[in-house]
Amino acid sequence: MDSTATSPAIDETHAPGRTSWVAGASNHGDFPVQNLPLGIFSPPGGTPRPGTAIGDHILDLAMLADLLPPDVGPALAQTTLNSLFALPRAARLALRRRLSSLLSDDRHRGAVEPALRRADACELHLPAAIGDYSDFYVGIHHATNVGTLFRPDNPLLPNYKHVPIGYHGRASSVRPSGVPVVRPNGQRKAPDAAEPAFGPSQRIDYELELGVWIGPGNALGTPIPIASAADHIAGFCLLNDWSARDFQAWEYQPLGPFLAKNFQTTISPWVVTAEALAPFRRAQPARPAGDPRPLPYLWDEADQQAGALDLELEVSLLTGKMRAAGAPPHRLSCGPASNMYWTVAQIVAHHASGGCNLSPGDLLGTGTISAPDREGFGSLLEITRGGSDPVTLPNGEIRRFVEDGDEVLLSARARRDGHVAIGFGACRAMLLPALHFGAAGQI
């Protein structure tokens, strides 16, 4: 087995001494020259096209195609990254190396500078046309916390430590950072109510997740062995799996969450590539003593050695009152991404193990990543214990769940001594009031 399949190599593109000639692309922001995330943007008055973030700028890759490896050229002429994701990892790596050189070597400045746009003047789009979106449940502390609320007698089900539990989500309602979320209407039934009622959700929550972008796919009927799972992973993003907890509790049995989760999912639009994260790979934490060893199709020693990421995840809240007062967002939680019971390679191998075909541009969510303690819980459901233990914000407001006008902000930062830290960019969205449904069920 080629161990690089599991763990992309650290090379000169990660060198801490490498800096960019682009003004403002210092080593302190999310997008130093060590990152080079890929995305789809529109410049002012222009159409969507591939770009890479560098400091406060976006490099227009289509404009620069003549200077880039010829095998990525056709993919750069597209309005989504699906074609780029479909290329073998070697092609993405060659693109990264070339971009790193173009943006760090001052001799290229004259040729490259005309293709730079100020990021704040551009619009960011979804990076890919998402064929299918699947969501997992790898945050074992989250699974335990939520299980305790939904099934006090039976928080962690017997399959959890054997099966990387996942389900299919809604691809059509995934939106990039910045697109507001309308509070959904739906059915809910309080435990003590005789009948369900229809109306605006009263328990809107966020869920802090990592998103995984699928690169090259597999043919229907042909599994992906875990040792080559990394060849199928193009990159990562942040993902807020907005959830209506009241709808979820009423609808989820026996077929799982549906309307509780499909009204919108917010992602950070930059794809932080697997290659960019190479320096931040670390061993997957050992399973607690007594936990079962995963079945062979889910077990790969190299993946265990490098299948986790040194990544800090954070959630902040900005209420309407705070915004009006010019206050900064308030941090609700912070914790490491290593609180995943299953690695990304394990969820990819599991997903395809029965022959299900993944395609370039498919999106996987990890499920909510919570730390063991309240400071690192990845949802309000957990932080407020189902609303019974509210959060008091610095301005005295209290929150059980997300309220209209609140903005939820996720962020991620990969850090390790001796390496330049990189970030994921913004993943934020504001909750807007529900539409009014009339008594006759009309809008």
Q: How far apart are CA 151 and CA 160, in angstroms?
A: 14
142 labelled catalytic = yes
CB 324, min distance to a copy of itself, A? 24
Judged by CB, which is closer to a copy of itself: 131, or 405?
131
Plot region of 404 (φ>0 → left; ψ -120 to 50 → alpha; else → beta): beta
| Cβ contacts of 204 within 8 Å, gap of 6 or more | 183, 242, 243, 244, 245, 401, 402, 431
Judged by CB, which is closer to a copy of itself: 170, or 413?
170
Judged by CB, which is closer to a copy of itself: 108, or 189?
189
Q: What letter does residue 156 receive in the DSSP assignment? A: S
Q: Under a CB-based contact definition with an 8 Å cutoff, are residues 170 and 133 in contact?
A: yes
CB 28, min distance to a copy of itself, A? 36
Judged by CB, which is closer to a copy of itself: 116, or 402?
402
Strands 174-176 and 265-267: parallel
Judged by CB, which is closer to a copy of itself: 158, or 418?
158
- 4-30: b (≥16 Cβ within 10 Å) or e: ebbbbeeeebbeeebbbbbeebebebb
CB 223, min distance to a copy of itself, A? 6
Judged by CB, which is closer to a copy of itself: 21, or 167?
167
Q: How far apart are CA 329 and CA 248, in angstroms?
A: 28
Judged by CB, which is closer to a copy of itself: 121, or 437?
437
CB 179, min distance to a copy of itself, A? 8
Structure tokens at 351: 């997903």
Q: Under a CB-based contact definition with an 8 Å cutoff, are residues 430 and 42 in contact?
A: no
CB 399, min distance to a copy of itself, A? 22
Is 290 exposed, middle or buried (CB count within 10 Å of its CB: 0-12, 13-18, 19+)? Answer: exposed
CB 2, min distance to a copy of itself, A? 13
Q: Under a CB-based contact definition with an 8 Å cutoff, are residues 238 and 427 in contact?
A: yes
Q: Tokens 């809604």 map to which residue?
A: 170
Considering only CA atoms, which of 384, 422, 429 is closest in space to residue 404?
Answer: 429
CB 302, min distance to a copy of itself, A? 13
Pick the catalytic residue: 142, 232, 330, 350?
142
Q: How many beta carbons lie within 10 A of that of residue 438, not counting itself?
A: 7
Instruction: Please identify every residue annotated as catalytic.
Output: 142
